[in-house]
Amino acid sequence: MLRRKPTAITLTSEDVAAFEDARIAKAQGAAAENARKSKEAQAADLDPNDELRPLPGDKGRASKTAQTRDERIGVSH
């Protein structure tokens, strides 16, 4: 196996400045994205159990099911 000399890497202050600028821009983009998601989450703050609640004025099926179940097993009130 042949060996070769290690490659020397030189960084200039412009390279470091460009890297830091890119890192700051990426961090600001991520912060803006998080703020947007947070704002959307607040706007869409819904009760997850809302679908399970009966509508106001709706008698619902549960009471009919319970009565028929009670009748089926012979429970009297």
pLDDT in tens, 18-52: 999 999 999 999 988 888 888 777 666 666 666 67
For residue 43, the model assigns a pLDDT of 62
pLDDT in tens, 56-68: 766 655 555 566 7
| Alpha carbon distance 19, 32 (integer Å) | 20
Spatial CB neighbours of 62, under 8 Å, sequence gap ≥ 6? 54
For residue 60, the model assigns a pLDDT of 57
